Structure 1
Amino acid sequence: MEQLQIAAPCHFGMEAVLKREIYDLGYEISRVEDGRVIFEGDYEALAYANIHLRTPERILLVVAEFEARSWEELFQGIRGIAWENYLPKDAKFWVTKATSVKSELFSTRDIQSIVKRAMVERMSKVYGISHFPETGAEYPLRIFIMKNRVMVTLDSTGLPLHKRGYRTLTSKAPLSETLAAGLLMLTPWHADRILMDPFCGSGTILIEAAMMAANIAPGLDRSFTGEQWTNLIDPQVWRDLRADARGQINPDVRTNLQGYDLDPRMVEIARQNARRAGVADLIHFQQRDVRDTSHPKKYGFILTNPPYGERLEDQKDLPELYAAIGRAYRSLDDWSMYIITSYEDAQKYLGRKADKNRKIYNGMIKTYFYQYLGPKPPRRKKQEN
């Protein structure tokens, strides 16, 4: 089958996680750039990636790449693309987003207008019509220009991939589902280990962990724009991939996932979200203050997204809050702790410097992923026959 270039944008700082995830699905990486990974695959891979990848924001079909330093070069580059190979005569097409960084062409509105005009001119010549009804399937474009290098893509995802469908209610500053999944992949946590979130909010971290443990594909219960592209992808491909993903779910998995929050309303929201995700039986949610954190077992994990002090009036409470987190962690026997926060003094009040620290952008917010590494549990003895 035809090999395509497929781009998967992600949170800045999560490129290595996404790269590993794509490799694990069996695809070859073409290159890794800031905020995205480009890999090779066919049209089935485009559908498979949408259903199975946990950490990217969307899956884009790379249609062309070329240099453009002038509006004329952009126009000619777009007009030179064989759009008739991608878009049927009745396609609805538009540039849903254009970005330009360190390039001579910087007006995103002009980029959108010129791309559309060049596409219409090309397709008018091929199809022999001057007016396009745009009553058919949607083919949204995303244009990226970096240092005068233009990447032209078709968005096969539609609503971003973090819209799994289970989270209808959230806390004030929630992690996206894709970022929560990526943070989990940055830890050694596995389904047979204890995982606790003492600031669980709407439950995203634990729900993503439960879905991983049960091998529930993140895109299983939502739709994608690419499903409309019947000229490129047979609808049966999507049906077969979903049926296969459902067959891979492990209904017998056992987990020890615990979510706590001081706000009883958030605890109930987390429970509702877990029910919608089909993992309510795998997570224990309860109202509890971080100061009351305890657990009798060893070698567990804390992974949490505590308050950052987004509002000025909240910042005065952060020293005591992070000191309480530090005390709670020290009370646990041989545990590991992973915290994502933008609070610059977090390590000071947690009580010690993190073993590892990774910079990650949560949207436009620069955050730090502080990693406190506990000892590994002893290996289990193999049972004798």
Structure 2
Amino acid sequence: MGKVTLIATAAMGIEALVAREVRSLGYENCQVDNGKVIFEADETAICRTNLWLRTADRVKLKVGEFKATTFDELFEKTKALNWGDYLPENAEFPVVGKSVKSKLFSVSDCQSIVKKAVVEKLSRTYNRTTRFDETGPLFRIEVALLKDIATITIDTSGVGLHKRGYRVGQGEAPLKETLAASLILLTNWKADRPFVDPFCGSGTIPIEAALIGQNIAPGFNREFASDEWEWIGKENWNRAKEEAEDLANYDQPLSISGYDIDHRMINIAKSNADEMGLGDMITFKQMQVKDFTTKEEYGYIVANPPYGERLSEKPLVEKLYQEMGNAFRPLDTWSAYVLTSFPEFEKWYGKEASKKRKLFNGFIRTDYYQYFGKRPPKA
């Protein structure tokens, strides 16, 4: 196949993190854009990025990009692409779409035109006069129009990359695994330091920390749409999985704890950690944040507390942030990182953050408050 162009999609605000991950896999030539990172690689990168990217939403294969202001133009330019390089004769190829600030604003029309163009091209490629049965592997095609530029991609991931395969249960507002990993990667935490999540809910942040700490590929426990693509080949997938197995450091000792006020969430968190084979690595315990104390030093706290989105919750949240500040501030060697949409967080916590970063938790605009502890003495 040679070189392919891949697009790793990302939540707003963490594109640079995704780019850092892409580069760490050896794909240096990448371009960062709003909500995505674009890079060139060979087909083995499809396997490796799906297995390893902790912060990306999905990996798409770019088939073509062109200007289209009429339906004729969209049809002809889509038909001109080399669909036979990617789609076998029995491929299942639904088409999804979106359109922003473009003359071709009817998404359903764009989808059916792209579908028709692909069918016509494949009919010529495979010399067919009958319709395709689409019983084979899945190739989900997307036509995305932005300011009259059409980008045509195929989704290589299938289910979004945040679905790691360990979530047996969850609470009512679970944090996406990709965002949890981002929160950890935005700290300087290293696996030999203590790590605490005082509002652990179903355990997502501690589990992601354990995966990072032991260098376990987040996708090792799941399947991807491109597993079944013949032109990538089982051999490339097996090699990528072997590499992930070889690079995992299962012997790395970890000190990771998750606390929550709700004992039911603690039970769910334990089940989720067990599902990932990390049950022995993480300590989960029912506890209120105000009761948190520790004799350990130079640790890290990563917290996603309640935000108090409803007016009635405001007084409770203010009290909670006050208790949090009282519990964390005496730990002067510890670094604390808190994600919340509450505008007066610093006032109630009792201290201004060393640094703030704007992030989105789903559609909620939040700030990531960062409090840096003392640095450990040089060995």
Q: Secondary structure, in 3 states, of the residue corresponding to 1:8?
A: strand
Following superposition, the deviation at residue 151 of structure 1 comes to 1.2
Amino acid at match of 2:270: R
Q: Secondary structure, in 3 states, of the residue corresponding to 1:318?
A: helix
1:82 has 2:119 as partner? no
Amino acid at match of 2:334: W
Q: Secondary structure, in 3 states, of the residue corresponding to 1:59?
A: strand
| Contact 2:166 2:273 (8 Å CA) reproduced | yes
CA offset digits 1:65-94 (Å, max 9, x no partner):
111122222112211111111111111101
Following superposition, the deviation at residue 376 of structure 1 comes to 1.2
CA offset digits 1:147-183 (Å, max 9, x no partner):
2221111111100111100112112212111111111
Measured in 1, the distance between the counterparts of 2:254 and 2:31 equals 36
Counterparts of 1:245-324 in structure 2 under 5 Å?
A: 245-324=244-323
Amino acid at match of 1:376: R
Greater mean deviation of Cα atoms: 34-43 or 24-33:
24-33
Greater mean deviation of Cα atoms: 102-111 or 190-199:
102-111
- Alignment correspondent of 2:67: 67
- Alignment correspondent of 1:243: 242
CA offset digits 1:334-360 (Å, max 9, x no partner):
211111111122122111221111111
CA offset digits 1:40-78 (Å, max 9, x no partner):
111111111111111111111111111112222211221
Measured in 1, the distance between the counterparts of 2:37 and 2:309 equals 31
- Alignment correspondent of 2:375: 376
- Alignment correspondent of 1:12: 12
- Alignment correspondent of 1:210: 210
Measured in 2, the distance between the counterparts of 1:311 and 1:122 equals 53
CA offset digits 1:86-143 (Å, max 9, x no partner):
1111111011x32222222222222211111111122223323241111111111122
| Contact 1:2 1:42 (8 Å CA) reproduced | yes
Measured in 1, the distance between the counterparts of 2:29 and 2:323 equals 43
What residue ranges of structure 1 are gaps of 5+ in the alignment? 381-385
- Alignment correspondent of 2:153: 153
Q: Secondary structure, in 3 states, of the residue corresponding to 1:92?
A: coil
| Contact 1:164 1:221 (8 Å CA) reproduced | yes
Counterparts of 1:98-109 in structure 2 under 5 Å?
A: 98-109=97-108
Measured in 2, the distance between the counterparts of 1:361 and 1:148 equals 27
1:183 has 2:159 as partner? no
Measured in 2, the distance between the counterparts of 1:38 and 1:66 equals 16
CA offset digits 1:262-289 (Å, max 9, x no partner):
0000011111111111111111110000
Measured in 2, the distance between the counterparts of 1:342 and 1:100 equals 29
| Contact 1:19 1:29 (8 Å CA) reproduced | no
| Contact 2:321 2:348 (8 Å CA) reproduced | yes
Greater mean deviation of Cα atoms: 129-138 or 253-262:
129-138
- Deviating 4+ runs (over 4 angstroms): none
- Alignment correspondent of 1:124: 123
Q: Secondary structure, in 3 states, of the residue corresponding to 2:139?
A: strand
Measured in 2, the distance between the counterparts of 1:3 and 1:123 equals 22
Following superposition, the deviation at residue 290 of structure 1 comes to 0.6
Measured in 2, the distance between the counterparts of 1:251 and 1:42 equals 29
**TM-score normalised to structure 2 length:** 0.96
Amino acid at match of 2:112: S
- Alignment correspondent of 2:137: 137
What residue ranges of structure 2 are gaps of 5+ in the alignment? none
Residues 29 and 342 from structure 1, CA distance in 2 versus in 1: closer, same or farther, beyond 3 angstroms?
farther
Measured in 2, the distance between the counterparts of 1:355 and 1:22 equals 28
Q: Secondary structure, in 3 states, of the residue corresponding to 2:113?
A: helix
Identity %: 45
Following superposition, the deviation at residue 369 of structure 1 comes to 0.9
Q: Secondary structure, in 3 states, of the residue corresponding to 2:58?
A: coil
- Alignment correspondent of 2:196: 196
| Superposition RMSD in Å | 1.4
Measured in 1, the distance between the counterparts of 2:74 and 2:295 equals 63
Following superposition, the deviation at residue 316 of structure 1 comes to 3.5
CA offset digits 1:220-255 (Å, max 9, x no partner):
11111001111x111121122212211222221111
Measured in 2, the distance between the counterparts of 1:258 and 1:266 equals 14
Measured in 2, the distance between the counterparts of 1:263 and 1:222 equals 29
- Alignment correspondent of 1:54: 54
- Alignment correspondent of 2:39: 39
Q: Secondary structure, in 3 states, of the residue corresponding to 1:280?
A: coil
| Contact 2:23 2:30 (8 Å CA) reproduced | no
| Contact 1:357 1:369 (8 Å CA) reproduced | yes
Following superposition, the deviation at residue 332 of structure 1 comes to 1.7
Measured in 2, the distance between the counterparts of 1:227 and 1:126 equals 24
- Alignment correspondent of 2:350: 351
Following superposition, the deviation at residue 312 of structure 1 comes to 4.2
